[in-house]
Amino acid sequence: MKVFVSASAGNVGAAGSVVNAAPWVLTVAAILRLLAFCSPDITAPGVNILAAYPPQNGENADAIFL
Task: Give the pLDDT confidence of 9-51 residue by residue, as tens digits.
Answer: 666 666 666 666 677 777 776 655 564 545 455 555 555 656 5
Residues 6+ apart with CB under 8 A from 32: 38
Contact 44, 26 (CB under 8 A): yes
The rounded distance, in Å, linking the Cα atoms of 26 and 5 is 6
Residue type, 19: V
Q: What is the pLDDT of residue 3?
A: 77
The rounded distance, in Å, linking the Cα atoms of 48 and 35 is 35
What is the value of pTM for the model shown?
Answer: 0.33
Delimit the domains of the chain by residue range: 1-50
